[in-house]
Structure 1
Protein backbone atom coordinates (compact mmCIF):
# COMPACT_ATOMS: atom_id res chain seq x y z
CA UNK A 1 0.00 0.00 0.00
CA UNK A 2 1.35 3.43 -0.94
CA UNK A 3 1.87 5.78 1.99
CA UNK A 4 -0.39 8.83 1.83
CA UNK A 5 2.60 11.11 2.41
CA UNK A 6 4.19 9.64 -0.74
CA UNK A 7 1.17 10.08 -2.99
CA UNK A 8 1.29 12.42 -5.98
CA UNK A 9 0.84 16.09 -5.16
CA UNK A 10 -2.54 17.66 -5.90
CA UNK A 11 -0.64 20.24 -7.97
CA UNK A 12 1.50 19.89 -11.07
CA UNK A 13 3.80 21.96 -13.28
CA UNK A 14 5.10 23.72 -10.19
CA UNK A 15 8.03 25.21 -12.06
CA UNK A 16 5.58 27.11 -14.26
CA UNK A 17 3.63 28.70 -11.40
CA UNK A 18 4.07 32.40 -10.53
CA UNK A 19 5.45 33.04 -7.07
CA UNK A 20 2.10 34.17 -5.70
CA UNK A 21 0.39 31.01 -6.89
CA UNK A 22 3.09 28.79 -5.38
CA UNK A 23 2.73 30.50 -2.02
CA UNK A 24 -1.07 30.42 -2.08
CA UNK A 25 -1.17 26.69 -2.78
CA UNK A 26 1.44 25.87 -0.13
CA UNK A 27 -0.58 27.93 2.34
CA UNK A 28 -3.78 26.13 1.32
CA UNK A 29 -2.15 22.80 2.11
CA UNK A 30 -0.74 24.09 5.39
CA UNK A 31 -4.24 25.11 6.50
CA UNK A 32 -5.22 21.43 6.61
CA UNK A 33 -2.52 20.49 9.11
CA UNK A 34 -4.09 21.87 12.29
CA UNK A 35 -7.35 20.06 11.47
CA UNK A 36 -5.44 16.80 11.04
CA UNK A 37 -3.82 17.34 14.43
CA UNK A 38 -7.21 18.10 15.97
CA UNK A 39 -8.47 14.67 14.98
CA UNK A 40 -5.69 13.12 17.08
CA UNK A 41 -6.23 15.13 20.26
CA UNK A 42 -7.53 12.12 22.25
CA UNK A 43 -4.40 10.15 21.33
CA UNK A 44 -2.14 13.10 22.18
CA UNK A 45 -3.89 13.41 25.54
CA UNK A 46 -3.04 9.81 26.42
CA UNK A 47 0.60 10.39 25.47
CA UNK A 48 0.77 13.58 27.56
CA UNK A 49 -0.66 11.78 30.58
CA UNK A 50 1.77 8.83 30.47
CA UNK A 51 4.78 11.13 30.01
CA UNK A 52 3.60 13.25 32.93
CA UNK A 53 3.07 10.17 35.10
CA UNK A 54 6.52 8.77 34.31
CA UNK A 55 8.26 12.12 34.83
CA UNK A 56 6.60 12.56 38.22
CA UNK A 57 8.12 9.18 39.09
CA UNK A 58 11.57 10.36 38.04
CA UNK A 59 11.49 9.29 34.41
CA UNK A 60 12.58 11.12 31.29
CA UNK A 61 11.29 11.63 27.77
CA UNK A 62 13.36 10.36 24.85
CA UNK A 63 12.69 11.26 21.22
CA UNK A 64 14.14 9.03 18.51
CA UNK A 65 13.95 9.77 14.80
CA UNK A 66 15.81 10.21 11.54
CA UNK A 67 16.15 13.11 9.12
CA UNK A 68 13.61 15.90 9.55
CA UNK A 69 11.72 13.91 12.19
CA UNK A 70 14.87 13.41 14.23
CA UNK A 71 15.79 17.07 13.95
CA UNK A 72 12.36 18.11 15.18
CA UNK A 73 12.80 15.92 18.24
CA UNK A 74 16.21 17.41 18.96
CA UNK A 75 14.80 20.93 18.61
CA UNK A 76 11.89 20.29 20.95
CA UNK A 77 14.14 18.65 23.53
CA UNK A 78 16.69 21.47 23.38
CA UNK A 79 14.01 24.10 23.97
CA UNK A 80 12.68 22.59 27.20
CA UNK A 81 15.52 23.66 29.55
CA UNK A 82 15.51 27.37 28.62
CA UNK A 83 11.72 27.52 28.47
CA UNK A 84 10.86 25.56 31.60
CA UNK A 85 14.08 25.50 33.62
CA UNK A 86 14.33 21.70 33.57
CA UNK A 87 17.65 19.82 33.36
CA UNK A 88 18.97 19.10 29.88
CA UNK A 89 18.75 15.38 30.73
CA UNK A 90 14.97 15.42 31.27
CA UNK A 91 13.95 15.58 27.60
CA UNK A 92 16.49 14.03 25.24
CA UNK A 93 16.42 14.08 21.44
CA UNK A 94 18.36 11.37 19.59
CA UNK A 95 18.79 11.42 15.82
CA UNK A 96 19.92 8.55 13.61
CA UNK A 97 23.53 9.15 12.61
CA UNK A 98 24.38 11.16 15.70
CA UNK A 99 24.48 14.90 16.27
CA UNK A 100 26.29 15.46 12.99
CA UNK A 101 23.10 14.40 11.23
CA UNK A 102 21.36 17.49 12.59
CA UNK A 103 23.15 19.57 9.96
CA UNK A 104 24.08 17.02 7.32
CA UNK A 105 22.23 13.87 6.31
CA UNK A 106 23.98 10.60 7.19
CA UNK A 107 23.32 8.04 4.47
CA UNK A 108 21.41 4.91 5.49
CA UNK A 109 21.56 5.76 9.22
CA UNK A 110 17.80 5.37 9.47
CA UNK A 111 17.94 1.81 8.10
CA UNK A 112 19.71 0.33 11.15
CA UNK A 113 17.03 -1.19 13.39
CA UNK A 114 19.50 -1.90 16.22
CA UNK A 115 21.19 1.48 16.54
CA UNK A 116 18.49 3.48 18.33
CA UNK A 117 18.60 1.29 21.43
CA UNK A 118 22.40 1.39 21.35
CA UNK A 119 22.25 5.20 21.18
CA UNK A 120 19.89 5.34 24.15
CA UNK A 121 22.23 3.25 26.29
CA UNK A 122 24.56 6.25 26.57
CA UNK A 123 21.89 7.83 28.81
CA UNK A 124 21.35 4.84 31.14
CA UNK A 125 17.79 4.50 29.92
CA UNK A 126 15.51 2.60 32.29
CA UNK A 127 11.93 1.47 32.85
CA UNK A 128 10.85 4.85 34.28
CA UNK A 129 11.49 6.54 30.93
CA UNK A 130 9.25 7.09 27.90
CA UNK A 131 10.46 6.70 24.32
CA UNK A 132 8.59 8.53 21.57
CA UNK A 133 9.47 7.62 18.00
CA UNK A 134 9.04 10.34 15.39
CA UNK A 135 8.69 9.22 11.77
CA UNK A 136 6.58 10.88 9.11
CA UNK A 137 6.42 7.71 7.03
CA UNK A 138 5.89 5.45 10.03
CA UNK A 139 8.24 2.91 8.46
CA UNK A 140 11.71 3.98 9.65
CA UNK A 141 13.69 0.91 10.84
CA UNK A 142 15.74 2.99 13.32
CA UNK A 143 12.52 4.03 15.07
CA UNK A 144 10.77 0.66 14.79
CA UNK A 145 13.73 -1.14 16.33
CA UNK A 146 14.12 1.42 19.10
CA UNK A 147 10.48 1.20 20.13
CA UNK A 148 10.47 -2.59 19.96
CA UNK A 149 13.48 -2.86 22.27
CA UNK A 150 12.03 -0.25 24.63
CA UNK A 151 8.83 -2.30 24.87
CA UNK A 152 10.84 -5.42 25.66
CA UNK A 153 12.61 -3.55 28.45
CA UNK A 154 9.36 -2.36 30.05
CA UNK A 155 9.45 1.30 29.00
CA UNK A 156 6.39 3.26 27.93
CA UNK A 157 6.44 4.01 24.20
CA UNK A 158 4.69 6.49 21.94
CA UNK A 159 5.06 7.81 18.43
CA UNK A 160 4.20 10.66 16.10
CA UNK A 161 3.64 9.51 12.53
CA UNK A 162 1.82 10.97 9.52
CA UNK A 163 0.31 7.89 7.92
CA UNK A 164 -2.27 5.40 9.12
CA UNK A 165 -1.64 1.74 9.99
CA UNK A 166 2.15 1.98 10.09
CA UNK A 167 4.78 -0.36 11.59
CA UNK A 168 5.99 2.42 13.91
CA UNK A 169 2.49 2.97 15.30
CA UNK A 170 2.06 -0.78 15.72
CA UNK A 171 5.08 -0.82 18.05
CA UNK A 172 3.94 2.18 20.12
CA UNK A 173 1.75 1.79 23.18
CA UNK A 174 0.57 5.39 22.78
CA UNK A 175 0.52 6.10 19.03
CA UNK A 176 -0.31 9.47 17.50
CA UNK A 177 -1.02 9.27 13.77
CA UNK A 178 -1.66 12.67 12.19
CA UNK A 179 -2.58 11.81 8.61
CA UNK A 180 -1.54 14.83 6.55
CA UNK A 181 -1.92 13.37 3.04
CA UNK A 182 0.03 14.24 -0.11
CA UNK A 183 2.59 17.02 0.13
CA UNK A 184 2.55 20.08 -2.13
CA UNK A 185 5.95 18.91 -3.35
CA UNK A 186 5.46 15.17 -3.82
CA UNK A 187 7.04 13.21 -0.97
CA UNK A 188 8.61 16.25 0.76
CA UNK A 189 7.56 15.44 4.32
CA UNK A 190 9.55 18.38 5.67
CA UNK A 191 6.43 20.36 4.71
CA UNK A 192 2.97 19.38 6.02
CA UNK A 193 4.13 16.27 7.87
CA UNK A 194 6.98 18.17 9.51
CA UNK A 195 4.61 20.95 10.52
CA UNK A 196 2.21 18.43 12.03
CA UNK A 197 4.99 16.79 14.01
CA UNK A 198 6.20 20.15 15.29
CA UNK A 199 2.69 21.03 16.44
CA UNK A 200 2.30 17.72 18.29
CA UNK A 201 5.69 17.98 19.98
CA UNK A 202 4.89 21.54 21.09
CA UNK A 203 1.61 20.32 22.55
CA UNK A 204 3.24 17.35 24.24
CA UNK A 205 6.07 19.05 26.11
CA UNK A 206 4.17 22.25 26.86
CA UNK A 207 1.26 20.31 28.36
CA UNK A 208 3.55 18.00 30.30
CA UNK A 209 5.52 20.91 31.76
CA UNK A 210 2.33 22.72 32.76
CA UNK A 211 1.11 19.57 34.53
CA UNK A 212 4.49 19.27 36.26
CA UNK A 213 4.06 22.77 37.72
CA UNK A 214 6.61 24.55 35.53
CA UNK A 215 4.10 27.27 34.58
CA UNK A 216 2.18 29.65 36.82
CA UNK A 217 -0.94 31.26 35.40
CA UNK A 218 0.23 31.56 31.83
CA UNK A 219 3.84 32.52 32.54
CA UNK A 220 7.15 30.68 32.08
CA UNK A 221 8.21 31.35 35.66
CA UNK A 222 11.13 28.91 35.58
CA UNK A 223 12.64 30.01 32.26
CA UNK A 224 16.40 30.48 32.10
CA UNK A 225 17.65 34.06 31.92
CA UNK A 226 20.00 33.46 29.00
CA UNK A 227 19.69 36.79 27.14
CA UNK A 228 18.54 40.39 27.57
CA UNK A 229 15.12 39.69 26.05
CA UNK A 230 14.39 37.01 28.64
CA UNK A 231 15.68 39.19 31.48
CA UNK A 232 13.33 41.96 30.30
CA UNK A 233 10.43 39.51 30.08
CA UNK A 234 11.20 38.12 33.52
CA UNK A 235 11.47 41.61 34.97
CA UNK A 236 7.98 42.45 33.69
CA UNK A 237 6.64 39.27 35.27
CA UNK A 238 8.21 40.11 38.63
CA UNK A 239 6.84 43.66 38.44
CA UNK A 240 3.37 42.32 37.69
CA UNK A 241 3.44 39.88 40.62
CA UNK A 242 5.07 42.16 43.20
CA UNK A 243 4.35 45.76 42.23
CA UNK A 244 8.06 46.58 42.40
CA UNK A 245 9.64 49.27 40.24
CA UNK A 246 11.50 48.03 37.17
CA UNK A 247 15.06 48.52 38.46
CA UNK A 248 14.30 46.83 41.77
CA UNK A 249 12.44 43.97 40.08
CA UNK A 250 15.32 43.37 37.67
CA UNK A 251 17.86 43.32 40.48
CA UNK A 252 15.77 40.87 42.48
CA UNK A 253 15.32 38.65 39.42
CA UNK A 254 19.05 38.52 38.73
CA UNK A 255 19.85 37.82 42.36
CA UNK A 256 17.33 34.96 42.63
CA UNK A 257 17.85 33.51 39.15
CA UNK A 258 14.23 32.95 38.11
CA UNK A 259 10.84 34.62 38.20
CA UNK A 260 9.46 31.99 40.56
CA UNK A 261 12.32 32.35 43.04
CA UNK A 262 12.19 36.15 42.87
CA UNK A 263 8.46 36.28 43.56
CA UNK A 264 8.67 33.66 46.30
CA UNK A 265 11.51 35.56 47.97
CA UNK A 266 9.59 38.82 47.79
CA UNK A 267 6.51 37.25 49.36
CA UNK A 268 8.57 35.58 52.09
CA UNK A 269 9.97 38.93 53.19
CA UNK A 270 6.57 40.57 53.51
Structure 2
Protein backbone atom coordinates (compact mmCIF):
# COMPACT_ATOMS: atom_id res chain seq x y z
CA UNK A 1 0.00 0.00 0.00
CA UNK A 2 1.33 3.44 -0.96
CA UNK A 3 2.66 5.64 1.82
CA UNK A 4 0.17 8.37 2.72
CA UNK A 5 2.58 11.14 1.76
CA UNK A 6 2.98 9.67 -1.72
CA UNK A 7 -0.69 10.26 -2.56
CA UNK A 8 -1.59 13.27 -4.70
CA UNK A 9 -4.60 13.88 -2.47
CA UNK A 10 -2.20 14.31 0.47
CA UNK A 11 0.27 16.60 -1.30
CA UNK A 12 0.69 20.10 0.03
CA UNK A 13 -1.92 22.67 -0.97
CA UNK A 14 -1.15 25.26 -3.61
CA UNK A 15 -2.34 27.83 -1.06
CA UNK A 16 -0.75 28.73 2.27
CA UNK A 17 -1.21 31.03 5.26
CA UNK A 18 -4.95 30.46 4.97
CA UNK A 19 -5.62 31.86 8.42
CA UNK A 20 -4.32 35.24 7.25
CA UNK A 21 -6.51 35.47 4.16
CA UNK A 22 -9.77 37.39 3.86
CA UNK A 23 -13.04 35.60 3.33
CA UNK A 24 -13.05 36.64 -0.33
CA UNK A 25 -9.50 35.36 -0.81
CA UNK A 26 -10.50 32.01 0.69
CA UNK A 27 -13.56 31.76 -1.55
CA UNK A 28 -11.57 32.71 -4.64
CA UNK A 29 -8.90 30.15 -3.80
CA UNK A 30 -11.41 27.33 -3.37
CA UNK A 31 -13.24 28.33 -6.53
CA UNK A 32 -9.97 28.37 -8.43
CA UNK A 33 -9.19 24.83 -7.29
CA UNK A 34 -12.71 23.58 -8.00
CA UNK A 35 -12.43 24.62 -11.65
CA UNK A 36 -9.94 21.81 -12.20
CA UNK A 37 -12.41 19.11 -11.14
CA UNK A 38 -14.61 18.84 -14.28
CA UNK A 39 -11.42 18.87 -16.35
CA UNK A 40 -10.16 15.85 -14.41
CA UNK A 41 -13.52 14.11 -14.81
CA UNK A 42 -13.49 14.74 -18.55
CA UNK A 43 -10.25 12.80 -18.84
CA UNK A 44 -11.84 9.64 -17.42
CA UNK A 45 -15.12 9.61 -19.37
CA UNK A 46 -14.06 6.46 -21.25
CA UNK A 47 -13.51 4.69 -17.91
CA UNK A 48 -16.93 5.80 -16.70
CA UNK A 49 -18.51 4.70 -19.99
CA UNK A 50 -17.06 1.20 -19.72
CA UNK A 51 -18.31 0.83 -16.15
CA UNK A 52 -21.81 2.10 -16.95
CA UNK A 53 -22.18 -0.24 -19.92
CA UNK A 54 -21.33 -3.27 -17.80
CA UNK A 55 -23.66 -2.20 -14.99
CA UNK A 56 -26.55 -1.75 -17.43
CA UNK A 57 -26.05 -5.25 -18.84
CA UNK A 58 -26.39 -6.75 -15.39
CA UNK A 59 -29.27 -4.57 -14.23
CA UNK A 60 -31.26 -5.55 -17.31
CA UNK A 61 -30.93 -9.11 -16.00
CA UNK A 62 -32.29 -8.18 -12.59
CA UNK A 63 -29.05 -6.99 -11.00
CA UNK A 64 -28.58 -4.24 -8.45
CA UNK A 65 -25.95 -1.56 -7.90
CA UNK A 66 -24.11 -1.24 -4.58
CA UNK A 67 -21.80 1.54 -3.42
CA UNK A 68 -19.35 0.85 -0.60
CA UNK A 69 -17.16 3.45 1.08
CA UNK A 70 -16.06 5.06 4.33
CA UNK A 71 -16.36 8.60 5.64
CA UNK A 72 -17.09 11.26 3.02
CA UNK A 73 -16.84 8.71 0.22
CA UNK A 74 -19.36 6.43 1.91
CA UNK A 75 -21.74 9.32 2.53
CA UNK A 76 -21.60 10.33 -1.13
CA UNK A 77 -22.56 6.79 -2.12
CA UNK A 78 -25.48 6.81 0.31
CA UNK A 79 -26.65 10.17 -1.04
CA UNK A 80 -26.54 9.04 -4.66
CA UNK A 81 -28.35 5.78 -3.91
CA UNK A 82 -31.02 7.50 -1.81
CA UNK A 83 -31.84 9.91 -4.63
CA UNK A 84 -32.58 7.19 -7.21
CA UNK A 85 -36.05 6.18 -5.93
CA UNK A 86 -37.56 9.70 -5.86
CA UNK A 87 -35.89 10.72 -9.13
CA UNK A 88 -36.48 7.59 -11.19
CA UNK A 89 -39.27 5.78 -9.35
CA UNK A 90 -37.18 2.67 -8.68
CA UNK A 91 -37.31 0.54 -5.53
CA UNK A 92 -35.04 1.38 -2.62
CA UNK A 93 -33.14 -1.88 -3.01
CA UNK A 94 -32.11 -1.32 -6.65
CA UNK A 95 -29.28 1.10 -5.83
CA UNK A 96 -27.88 0.71 -2.32
CA UNK A 97 -25.29 2.79 -0.49
CA UNK A 98 -23.33 1.06 2.26
CA UNK A 99 -21.05 3.04 4.58
CA UNK A 100 -18.38 1.63 6.89
CA UNK A 101 -19.69 1.70 10.44
CA UNK A 102 -23.34 1.44 9.41
CA UNK A 103 -25.99 4.10 8.96
CA UNK A 104 -24.98 5.90 12.17
CA UNK A 105 -21.71 6.78 10.40
CA UNK A 106 -23.64 8.95 7.96
CA UNK A 107 -23.88 11.61 10.68
CA UNK A 108 -21.06 10.73 13.07
CA UNK A 109 -17.67 9.22 12.25
CA UNK A 110 -17.19 5.67 13.53
CA UNK A 111 -13.58 5.22 14.62
CA UNK A 112 -11.48 2.75 12.62
CA UNK A 113 -14.51 1.39 10.72
CA UNK A 114 -12.70 1.95 7.44
CA UNK A 115 -9.78 -0.21 8.56
CA UNK A 116 -11.80 -3.44 8.79
CA UNK A 117 -10.95 -5.41 5.64
CA UNK A 118 -13.64 -8.04 6.28
CA UNK A 119 -16.67 -5.90 7.14
CA UNK A 120 -17.67 -4.64 3.70
CA UNK A 121 -18.29 -8.16 2.43
CA UNK A 122 -20.30 -8.96 5.55
CA UNK A 123 -22.37 -5.84 4.87
CA UNK A 124 -22.89 -6.90 1.25
CA UNK A 125 -23.77 -10.47 2.18
CA UNK A 126 -26.74 -9.12 4.12
CA UNK A 127 -28.20 -8.26 0.69
CA UNK A 128 -27.39 -11.69 -0.80
CA UNK A 129 -25.32 -10.21 -3.61
CA UNK A 130 -25.02 -12.32 -6.75
CA UNK A 131 -23.35 -12.34 -10.15
CA UNK A 132 -25.98 -10.03 -11.66
CA UNK A 133 -25.04 -7.30 -9.18
CA UNK A 134 -22.39 -4.59 -9.38
CA UNK A 135 -20.32 -3.13 -6.54
CA UNK A 136 -18.55 0.23 -6.80
CA UNK A 137 -15.95 1.06 -4.18
CA UNK A 138 -15.59 4.78 -3.43
CA UNK A 139 -12.36 5.95 -1.82
CA UNK A 140 -10.58 9.24 -2.43
CA UNK A 141 -7.25 7.84 -1.24
CA UNK A 142 -7.73 4.57 -3.10
CA UNK A 143 -6.32 2.63 -0.15
CA UNK A 144 -9.26 2.15 2.24
CA UNK A 145 -9.11 -1.44 3.62
CA UNK A 146 -12.90 -1.64 3.99
CA UNK A 147 -13.30 -0.97 0.26
CA UNK A 148 -10.39 -3.13 -0.91
CA UNK A 149 -11.62 -6.12 1.09
CA UNK A 150 -15.16 -5.72 -0.18
CA UNK A 151 -14.09 -5.55 -3.82
CA UNK A 152 -11.77 -8.53 -3.46
CA UNK A 153 -14.52 -10.73 -2.07
CA UNK A 154 -16.96 -9.46 -4.69
CA UNK A 155 -14.51 -10.46 -7.41
CA UNK A 156 -14.19 -13.93 -5.91
CA UNK A 157 -17.99 -14.26 -6.01
CA UNK A 158 -18.30 -13.23 -9.67
CA UNK A 159 -19.77 -9.81 -8.91
CA UNK A 160 -18.85 -6.91 -11.23
CA UNK A 161 -16.58 -4.43 -9.45
CA UNK A 162 -15.75 -0.81 -10.17
CA UNK A 163 -14.35 2.08 -8.19
CA UNK A 164 -14.13 5.85 -8.00
CA UNK A 165 -10.78 7.00 -6.59
CA UNK A 166 -8.75 10.20 -6.73
CA UNK A 167 -5.19 8.85 -6.89
CA UNK A 168 -3.48 7.01 -9.73
CA UNK A 169 -2.26 3.44 -9.29
CA UNK A 170 -4.13 2.80 -6.06
CA UNK A 171 -4.84 -0.45 -4.25
CA UNK A 172 -8.59 -0.01 -4.75
CA UNK A 173 -8.17 0.50 -8.51
CA UNK A 174 -5.94 -2.56 -8.69
CA UNK A 175 -8.71 -4.86 -7.48
CA UNK A 176 -11.61 -3.25 -9.39
CA UNK A 177 -12.64 -4.70 -12.74
CA UNK A 178 -13.53 -1.22 -14.00
CA UNK A 179 -11.58 1.49 -12.15
CA UNK A 180 -12.35 5.19 -12.50
CA UNK A 181 -9.36 7.26 -11.35
CA UNK A 182 -10.13 10.98 -11.17
CA UNK A 183 -6.87 12.63 -10.18
CA UNK A 184 -7.64 16.14 -8.93
CA UNK A 185 -4.35 16.90 -7.19
CA UNK A 186 -3.76 18.83 -3.95
CA UNK A 187 -6.71 19.99 -1.91
CA UNK A 188 -7.23 23.63 -0.86
CA UNK A 189 -6.66 22.47 2.72
CA UNK A 190 -3.96 19.82 2.54
CA UNK A 191 -5.50 16.35 2.72
CA UNK A 192 -9.12 17.53 3.09
CA UNK A 193 -10.60 15.20 0.50
CA UNK A 194 -14.17 16.30 1.17
CA UNK A 195 -13.28 19.24 -1.09
CA UNK A 196 -12.08 18.61 -4.68
CA UNK A 197 -11.99 14.85 -4.32
CA UNK A 198 -15.49 14.77 -2.89
CA UNK A 199 -16.74 17.04 -5.66
CA UNK A 200 -15.15 14.79 -8.29
CA UNK A 201 -16.69 11.69 -6.75
CA UNK A 202 -20.11 13.34 -6.62
CA UNK A 203 -19.87 14.29 -10.31
CA UNK A 204 -18.90 10.76 -11.30
CA UNK A 205 -21.63 9.15 -9.20
CA UNK A 206 -24.17 11.54 -10.74
CA UNK A 207 -23.02 10.40 -14.17
CA UNK A 208 -23.07 6.71 -13.35
CA UNK A 209 -26.53 6.52 -11.77
CA UNK A 210 -28.14 8.95 -14.22
CA UNK A 211 -26.70 7.28 -17.32
CA UNK A 212 -27.68 3.85 -15.99
CA UNK A 213 -31.25 4.93 -15.29
CA UNK A 214 -31.63 6.54 -18.71
CA UNK A 215 -30.35 3.35 -20.32
CA UNK A 216 -32.92 1.41 -18.29
CA UNK A 217 -35.72 3.57 -19.74
CA UNK A 218 -36.43 5.68 -16.66
CA UNK A 219 -36.33 8.97 -18.60
CA UNK A 220 -38.39 9.98 -21.63
CA UNK A 221 -37.07 12.83 -23.74
CA UNK A 222 -35.47 14.78 -20.93
CA UNK A 223 -38.20 14.25 -18.35
CA UNK A 224 -38.33 12.24 -15.10
CA UNK A 225 -41.49 10.40 -16.09
CA UNK A 226 -41.25 7.89 -13.22
CA UNK A 227 -40.39 10.31 -10.40
CA UNK A 228 -42.13 9.86 -7.06
CA UNK A 229 -44.81 12.42 -6.24
CA UNK A 230 -43.54 13.05 -2.73
CA UNK A 231 -44.32 16.77 -2.36
CA UNK A 232 -46.42 19.57 -3.86
CA UNK A 233 -43.57 20.84 -6.04
CA UNK A 234 -43.15 17.44 -7.69
CA UNK A 235 -46.91 17.06 -8.16
CA UNK A 236 -47.00 20.41 -9.95
CA UNK A 237 -43.94 19.54 -12.05
CA UNK A 238 -45.51 16.22 -12.99
CA UNK A 239 -48.83 17.86 -13.79
CA UNK A 240 -47.18 20.26 -16.21
CA UNK A 241 -45.29 17.39 -17.82
CA UNK A 242 -48.57 15.56 -18.41
CA UNK A 243 -50.19 18.76 -19.74
CA UNK A 244 -47.43 19.29 -22.27
CA UNK A 245 -47.23 15.65 -23.32
CA UNK A 246 -50.89 15.11 -24.17
CA UNK A 247 -52.10 18.73 -24.52
CA UNK A 248 -54.73 18.86 -21.77
CA UNK A 249 -55.57 21.44 -19.12
CA UNK A 250 -53.98 21.62 -15.66
CA UNK A 251 -56.89 20.23 -13.65
CA UNK A 252 -57.34 17.15 -15.83
CA UNK A 253 -53.58 16.55 -15.94
CA UNK A 254 -53.37 16.70 -12.16
CA UNK A 255 -56.36 14.37 -11.78
CA UNK A 256 -54.74 11.82 -14.12
CA UNK A 257 -51.37 12.13 -12.41
CA UNK A 258 -52.73 11.55 -8.91
CA UNK A 259 -54.97 8.73 -10.13
CA UNK A 260 -52.17 6.80 -11.86
CA UNK A 261 -49.21 7.80 -9.65
CA UNK A 262 -46.66 8.78 -12.29
CA UNK A 263 -46.29 10.90 -15.40
CA UNK A 264 -45.63 7.82 -17.52
CA UNK A 265 -48.75 5.97 -16.36
CA UNK A 266 -50.92 9.09 -16.59
CA UNK A 267 -49.92 9.59 -20.22
CA UNK A 268 -50.19 5.91 -21.14
CA UNK A 269 -53.68 5.60 -19.62
CA UNK A 270 -55.13 8.83 -21.03
CA UNK A 271 -58.14 8.34 -23.32
CA UNK A 272 -59.61 11.32 -25.14
Sort the TM-score into its range (normalised by shorter chain): over 0.9
* Structure 2 residue runs without a partner (length 5+): none
Q: Structure 2 residue aligned with 1:161, among 160, 165, 188?
A: 165
CA distance in 2, matches of 1:166, 1:83: 33
Matched positions, count = 268
CA distance in 2, matches of 1:153, 1:142: 17
| Cross-structure match for 1:199 | 203
1:129 pairs with 2:136: no
- Partner of 1:229 in structure 2? 233
Deviations 1:177-218 (A, max 9, x none): 000100000000000000000000000000000000000000
Query: Per the alignment, in what secondary structure is the counterpart of residue 109 of structure 2?
Result: coil
1:213 matched to 2:222:
no
Aligned to 1:103: 107
**Aligned mates of 1:195, 1:216 — CA distance in 2:** 28
CA–CA separation in structure 2 for the residues paired with 1:123 and 1:223: 25
Counterpart mapping for 1:152-191 below 5 A: 152-191=156-195
* Deviation string, structure 1 residues 205-260 (Cα, Å, up to 9, x no partner): 00000000000000000000000000010001000001111011001100000000
Shift of the alpha carbon at 1:122? Answer: 1.0
Cα distance in 1, alignment partners of residues 130 and 247 from structure 2: 46
Q: Name structure 1 gaps, 5 residues minimum.
A: none
2:153: which partner in 1? 149
What's the offset of the Cα at 1:32? Answer: 0.3
Cα drift, residue 4 of structure 1: 0.1
- Matched ranges for 1:1-270 at <5 A: 2-266=6-270, 269-270=271-272
SS at match of 1:128: coil
Q: Alpha-carbon deviations, 1:53-74, whole Å to 9, x = none?
A: 0100110000000000000000
Q: Could you give the per-residue CA deviations for residues 21-69 of structure 1, whole angstroms, max 9, x where no partner exists?
A: 1000100000000000000000000011011001001100000000000
C-alpha displacement at 1:153, in angstroms?
Answer: 0.5
Shift of 1:121: 1.1
Q: 4+ runs of 1 displaced by more than 3 Å?
A: none
In structure 2, C-alpha distance between the alignment counterparts of 1:104 and 1:229, rounded to whole Å: 31
If the length of structure 2 is used for normalisation, what is the TM-score?
0.98
CA RMSD of aligned residues (A): 0.6
Distance 1:35 1:223 in 2: 31
How far apart, in 2, do the equivalents of 1:149 and 1:94 lie?
Answer: 15
